[in-house]
């Protein structure tokens, strides 16, 4: 019976989780579209020329990944019933990396401010901040959800 409902994939999500993940993918896709719209408007109409293609790539990818993972984690569709803890490891590593990146950005900002105006590259600094914030927020959501789940299971 158990086998009949599962496929031979590594992460074997059940039917509700697959539906939730589908919704999460949809949200991530809309986020990417919305990001393009906002960044284009900022670049073309607001005249914020610091938005370079590299930043746009980082921003699109990380915000979409963050939206997907937040939705999947929040609706219990991140870990499959046969989960081996790989997802948890990735999120923990992201949390550590995010904290490190944020800390390094603070130090880099001090160095950045010391540079002459024409040599300043704010795009690179923003890439790091966006990446760090997305990584950290995913970690925090996961930790909160896990704590909530543990509390429920204790009751």
Partner 1 sequence: MGKNLKLKAARALKDMSQKQLADAVGISRQTMNAIESGDYNPTIKLCRAICKALDQTLDELFWEE
Please give the residue ranges that form the binding site for partner 1 (CB under 8 A): 1-6, 12, 14-17, 76, 79-81, 149, 153
* Closest CB to partner 1 among residues 14, 52: 14
* Closest CB to partner 1 among residues 9, 116: 9
In this structure, is the dihedral angle defined by the CA atoms of residues 155, 20, 86 and 98, taken in order, positive or negative? Answer: negative
* Closest CB to partner 1 among residues 2, 117: 2
**Least Å from the CB of residue 4 to partner 1:** 7
Q: Are 123 and 54 in contact (CB under 8 A)?
A: yes
Q: Which helix (H) or strand (E) holds 41?
A: helix 15-44
**Least Å from the CB of residue 2 to partner 1:** 4
**Least Å from the CB of residue 59 to partner 1:** 32
* Closest CB to partner 1 among residues 81, 104: 81
Question: Quick one: tokens of 7?
Answer: 């496929």
Please give the DSSP secondary-structure letter assigned to residue 125. Answer: H
Q: Which helix (H) or strand (E) holds 37?
A: helix 15-44
């Amino acid at each position: 019976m158990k086998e009949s409902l599962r496929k031979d994939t590594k992460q074997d999500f059940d039917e509700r989780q697959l539906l939730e993940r589908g919704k999460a993918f949809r949200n991530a896709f809309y986020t990417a579209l919305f990001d393009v719209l906002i960044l284009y408007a900022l670049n073309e109409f607001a005249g914020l020329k610091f938005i370079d293609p590299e930043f746009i790539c980082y921003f699109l990818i990380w915000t979409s990944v963050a939206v997907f993972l937040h939705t999947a984690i929040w609706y219990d569709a991140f870990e499959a019933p046969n989960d081996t803890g790989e997802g948890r490891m990735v999120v923990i590593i992201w949390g550590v990396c995010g904290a490190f990146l944020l800390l390094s950005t603070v130090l880099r900002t001090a160095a950045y401010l010391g540079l002459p105006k024409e040599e300043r590259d704010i795009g690179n600094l923003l890439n790091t901040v966006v990446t760090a914030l997305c990584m950290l927020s995913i970690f925090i959501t996961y930790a909160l959800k896990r704590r909530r789940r543990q509390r429920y299971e204790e009751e």
